[in-house]
Amino acid sequence: MTRRLFSRRAFTTTAAAAAAAIAPFAVASQVKAAPADKTAGKPGGLRRITLYAEKLPDGQLAYGLEPGKPTIPGPLIEMIEGETLEIELVNNTDVTASLHVHGVDYETNSDGTRMNNSVVEPGGRYVYTWRTHAQTSRPDGTIEPGSAGYWHYHDHVVGTDHGTGGILRGLYGPLVVRRTGDVLPDKTFTVVFNDMKTNNLTQAPDFTAKLGERVEFVVITHGNFFHTFHIHAHRWADNRTGLLEGPQDQSRVIDTKTTGPAESFGFQVIAGERVGPGMWMYHCHVQSHSDMGMAGTFWVTDAHGNVPGHSMDEMSGHSMSGMSGHSMDGM
Amino acid sequence: MTRRLFSRRAFTTTAAAAAAAIAPFAVASQVKAAPADKTAGKPGGLRRITLYAEKLPDGQLAYGLEPGKPTIPGPLIEMIEGETLEIELVNNTDVTASLHVHGVDYETNSDGTRMNNSVVEPGGRYVYTWRTHAQTSRPDGTIEPGSAGYWHYHDHVVGTDHGTGGILRGLYGPLVVRRTGDVLPDKTFTVVFNDMKTNNLTQAPDFTAKLGERVEFVVITHGNFFHTFHIHAHRWADNRTGLLEGPQDQSRVIDTKTTGPAESFGFQVIAGERVGPGMWMYHCHVQSHSDMGMAGTFWVTDAHGNVPGHSMDEMSGHSMSGMSGHSMDGM
Amino acid sequence: MTRRLFSRRAFTTTAAAAAAAIAPFAVASQVKAAPADKTAGKPGGLRRITLYAEKLPDGQLAYGLEPGKPTIPGPLIEMIEGETLEIELVNNTDVTASLHVHGVDYETNSDGTRMNNSVVEPGGRYVYTWRTHAQTSRPDGTIEPGSAGYWHYHDHVVGTDHGTGGILRGLYGPLVVRRTGDVLPDKTFTVVFNDMKTNNLTQAPDFTAKLGERVEFVVITHGNFFHTFHIHAHRWADNRTGLLEGPQDQSRVIDTKTTGPAESFGFQVIAGERVGPGMWMYHCHVQSHSDMGMAGTFWVTDAHGNVPGHSMDEMSGHSMSGMSGHSMDGM
């Protein structure tokens, strides 16, 4: 495993917020290319990682990159079009679990369904292979889309043949596949609306970025309900990258988007662009959902690390997401 | 009626699956241009067909191209931009019924609503006229979109003035309008999420294609609920055709899409492209919906007509959709 | 305040229909650039308006441009990219209220949330500043989207910290930001699906236009439910403007669109284009919603101001929306 994959960079998932809820297990982690430059580089070849499905003390289930360190959502996995990832899933839970992925190429033996015999018994191990490819032309002249996208992975077998129990309990995570040349963010936040919880938390987590940082949001929905993701004072293009891809790009620019179970999308914003530092709400805009707790805060700090009008105590009382670090050199 | 409209080609709707449920009435049929070449040709002129609204033994209602042969969904109707279709609806049911269409041009007398006096009494006949047109420029320089799209038709009067009862009982079907030059599929499958049923079946039907075939899905939603259509191991562009229209097309490439009542979309995939033959689930990804039966299988067979690891008995036990044929020469 | 902002032009919101329900308060009004030409001109500079939050006799709340003249939806506010609008909100209600906007640039003191201390006590006044900007390139080569879009504003504090009570009772309205050069409509209609009501009316309002008029619809959703907006015999492009922006624009052309709380979109149609004058339904296509009253009529009149087959009495019995005028010269 090369250093390119597991860097020391600051975490960008809901470390602290999750930690408050599920203490020692809430170590956010990610499989990520080092941000050596500002755009996604050339694809590497084959990479291998191990993913652990584990049970939390409160009965939730989660994926993690190290034993004893599961997180909800699971680790952010990033790929560049053309790369192949072999993921050995170690099932440390007491139920049959699996790994099903959206967006990338996989044969039936990596489908993660009982129907295709690609599930893992308790105590078992199983290798799933995810392949990706760049956009290309087919012989008939049509275009085969590349694998790039804001995707995700989840269990497909716990509880029901559709993984309803596994997803409910936390077995899901984000996958971002980039095209060579795609703009890289400074940090990535993952928001998963899972029924009436956000990242399986009753109170949605907070996120923090510095004014001017390029922040990527990956938004995934699971469960049984539909939601509208909204963020205050920032907006994005409703296309592949969330960024307008040219001066003539006529994509809708939006700040609110309907999203249903297993849908996923992502976008990048410049934190506080034209609006300054501040506490900016993000929330599901279904009124009863936000009122029930599906609302968190995007803290945008000024040059001194402060949010004018608010104390750091207040901020840390909410979360330190994106501000903590974690070494994975030991892997 | 020319042969161009009713060809001998294999059926692409849910013939067998539906047959299991509603026996002699489940004859899939379609109004279809012959696949003489790979792209939609020049539009013909005026075409005339007869559509029969009939009652099934179990109380459901359905449209069909021949008396005694209604299907749910109704027949796939295809048009090329510029064509006009006159549809004589023969109402063989015991309730007032109608034909309302999405996407194409129709005057008030073809609206299919009670408000516009375009409904058909039991035993009656009525001609609806659907016109289509190609994209053009208006005198003011704006562009008038063409009629091409993945559309649909349905009753607008049974039960309520919005056809709630007619739709619930099965009076709906797909309409595909193509632009001259659009890529033609080898086969088309129609999936209609109608409340908690799929094509009015408690268990979603299966579909079969050969590895490498160009398969078109038309997805329509009806009723009162929202769904997310998902298919395993295949994906599409969220634009007009479902195909990227050029190397710079920045449409989102997706494998899951929120869809609500009367929405419709379509796309083409190459069966098993990069993933091989297999049993690939398609389903609503709302967990309770898939668990209740809104999940079927897309069988992709190898060169020998087999799906590795699965027997043909298993396959035929599910469905033979897309593998049966039916002559309509007699019409 | 310049005449450019408040013109004598005919109203385009739900004047009459609303009037029937909430009598003297239902004065439709708007902040609108004069339609001096067919496309949006150069941006002006700073504009200032006063918005009054008021309580209706039936307990509903609404915004208006003049005291005693609140409307539901609130006034249509139009801006051109580059303009700044200072809105002094006068809270004439008996509860703390606010003004939160989507899409444009605002600092925390114009957020309209309790968290950001930008709410207005009963009897108080408070100035909110909305800034807009044109599309531009960032130093890193990415494109910053302009502010143009079909947006909206609403209370964010009545009832709950998300304004659930304020929105439910009527504190919302449309905002359209245009890009210089965007095609201007002849009239604009606003449709707000707010739970099971439309523009807070149990029976959706009707709208009227002349054959060939360029009609803009702004569709906003609020509350707790998802809907599908559908209009008969007309369709639009699912992009930024609702108009195809060039012959290669591959946006989906649709006549039905899923929309959830706080989402907004807009489009322009040529009234009766290729289909003629008539009574054309528009409605939420969720069957139970349309059956419960979420369905209105888009009257398209002929050259004589008539709808063939229907009397003007019938029309006026429904609504005269878009046919009445109102002078705002006195402001």
The predicted structure's pLDDT at residue B315: 63
C227 to chain A: which residues are within 8 Å by CB? none
Contact (CB<8Å) A286/C260: yes
* CA-wise closest residue to C114 among C75, C65, C164: C164
pLDDT tens across A154-211, in order? Answer: 999 999 999 999 999 999 999 999 999 999 999 999 999 999 999 999 999 999 999 9
Beta-strand (E) ranges in C36-114?
Answer: 46-55, 61-64, 76-80, 84-91, 100-101
Question: What is the rounded average pLDDT for all residues in chain A?
Answer: 87
C291 to chain B, any CB pair closer than 8 A? The answer is yes
pLDDT mean values, one per 10 residues, chain C (331 residues): 28 34 36 61 96 98 98 98 98 98 98 97 98 95 96 98 98 98 97 98 97 98 98 97 93 97 98 98 98 98 91 57 29 24
The predicted structure's pLDDT at residue B37: 58
pLDDT band at A315 (very low <50, low <70, confident <90, very high): low
B281 to chain A, any CB pair closer than 8 A? The answer is yes
φ, ψ for residue A237 (rounded to 5)?
-90, 135
pLDDT band at B309 (very low <50, low <70, confident <90, very high): confident
A178 to chain C, any CB pair closer than 8 A? The answer is no
The predicted structure's pLDDT at residue C312: 66
Contact (CB<8Å) C115/A279: yes
Chain C: closest CA distance from residue B125 (Å): 21
pLDDT tens across A15-66, in order? Answer: 333 333 332 333 345 554 434 458 999 999 899 999 999 999 999 999 999 9
A308 sits in which H/E element: none
* DSSP letter (8 states) at residue B183: B
C115 to chain A: which residues are within 8 Å by CB? 279, 281, 297
* DSSP letter (8 states) at residue A326: -
A256 to chain C, any CB pair closer than 8 A? The answer is yes
Chain B: closest CA distance from residue A331 (Å): 31
Contact indicator for B132, B79 with CB cutoff of 8 Å:
yes
A330 to chain C, any CB pair closer than 8 A? The answer is no
C138 to chain A: which residues are within 8 Å by CB? 270
* CA-wise closest residue to B111 among B67, B78, B63, B155: B155
Contact (CB<8Å) C226/A226: yes
Chain A: closest CA distance from residue B100 (Å): 27
Contact indicator for B46, B188 with CB cutoff of 8 Å:
no
Contact (CB<8Å) B258/A258: yes
- Contacts with C60 (C-beta within 8 Å, 6 or more apart), sequence order: C22, C72, C169, C170, C200
Question: What is the rounded average pLDDT for all residues in chain B?
Answer: 87
A84 to chain B: which residues are within 8 Å by CB? none
Contact indicator for C271, C215 with CB cutoff of 8 Å:
yes
Chain A: closest CA distance from residue C141 (Å): 10
Contact (CB<8Å) A228/C144: no
Rounded-to-integer distance, Cα C331 and Cα C313, Å: 33
Chain C interface disruption, residue of A227, A285, A288, A300, most C CBs within 10 A: A285
pTM confidence score: 0.89
Contact indicator for C60, C35 with CB cutoff of 8 Å:
no
C287 to chain B, any CB pair closer than 8 A? The answer is yes
Contact (CB<8Å) A167/B235: no
* CA-wise closest residue to A175 among A311, A33, A31, A313: A31
C270 to chain B, any CB pair closer than 8 A? The answer is yes
Least CB–CB distance from B281: residue in A106, A115, A249: A115
Chain A: closest CA distance from residue C278 (Å): 31
A254 to chain C: which residues are within 8 Å by CB? 149, 263
Q: How many CB atoms lie within 10 A of CB C316?
A: 13
A264 to chain B: which residues are within 8 Å by CB? 256
Rounded-to-integer distance, Cα A108 and Cα A112, Å: 8
Rounded-to-integer distance, Cα C307 and Cα C319, Å: 14
The predicted structure's pLDDT at residue A252: 96
Chain C: closest CA distance from residue A308 (Å): 10
Rounded-to-integer distance, Cα B133 and Cα B103, Å: 11
* DSSP letter (8 states) at residue A110: G
| Lowest pLDDT segment from A269-273, B35-39, C106-110 | B35-39
Question: Judged by CB atoms within 8 Å, which residues 217-236 of A form the interface with C?
Answer: 226-228, 230, 232-233, 235-236
Chain A interface disruption, residue of B285, B292, B299, B306, most A CBs within 10 A: B285
Contact (CB<8Å) B253/A226: no
B223 to chain C: which residues are within 8 Å by CB? 286-287
Q: How many CB atoms lie within 10 A of CB C55?
A: 19
Least CB–CB distance from C149: residue in A38, A253, A308: A253
Percentage of residues of chain A with pLDDT beyond 90: 79
Contact indicator for C46, C84 with CB cutoff of 8 Å:
yes
pLDDT > 70? residue B35: no
Chain A: closest CA distance from residue B318 (Å): 13
Contact (CB<8Å) A108/B279: yes
Question: Judged by CB atoms within 8 Å, which residues 52-81 of A form the interface with C?
Answer: none
State the average pLDDT over residues B152-160: 98
B145 to chain C: which residues are within 8 Å by CB? 235-237, 244, 253
A309 to chain C, any CB pair closer than 8 A? The answer is yes
For residue B150, what are its two tokens?
């993945």
The predicted structure's pLDDT at residue B23: 28
The predicted structure's pLDDT at residue C309: 83
Least CB–CB distance from C240: residue in A252, A275, A285: A252
Contact (CB<8Å) A239/B230: no
Chain centroid offset of residue B61 CA: 16
Q: Which residues pair with A178 in a beta bridge?
A: A80
* CA-wise closest residue to A66 among C99, A74, C186, A58: A74
Contact (CB<8Å) C252/B107: no
Contact (CB<8Å) A143/B249: yes
Contact (CB<8Å) B263/C226: no
State the average pLDDT over residues A82-98: 98
For chain A, the chains sharing at least 3 beta-carbon pairs closer than 8 angstroms are B, C
Q: Which residue of C has its CA nearest to B163?
A: C287
A286 to chain C, any CB pair closer than 8 A? The answer is yes
Q: Which residues pair with C79 in a beta bridge?
A: C177
Contact (CB<8Å) C108/A255: no
C186 to chain A, any CB pair closer than 8 A? The answer is no
C241 to chain A, any CB pair closer than 8 A? The answer is yes
Percentage of residues of chain A with pLDDT beyond 70: 83
Percentage of residues of chain B with pLDDT beyond 90: 80
pLDDT > 70? residue A148: yes
pLDDT tens across B181-229, in order? Answer: 999 999 999 999 999 999 999 999 999 999 999 999 999 999 999 999 9
A143 to chain B, any CB pair closer than 8 A? The answer is yes
pLDDT > 90? residue A297: yes
Chain B interface disruption, residue of A81, A147, A162, most B CBs within 10 A: A162
Rounded-to-integer distance, Cα C307 and Cα C289, Å: 27
Chain C: closest CA distance from residue A72 (Å): 26
The predicted structure's pLDDT at residue A86: 98
Rounded-to-integer distance, Cα A24 and Cα C177, Å: 48
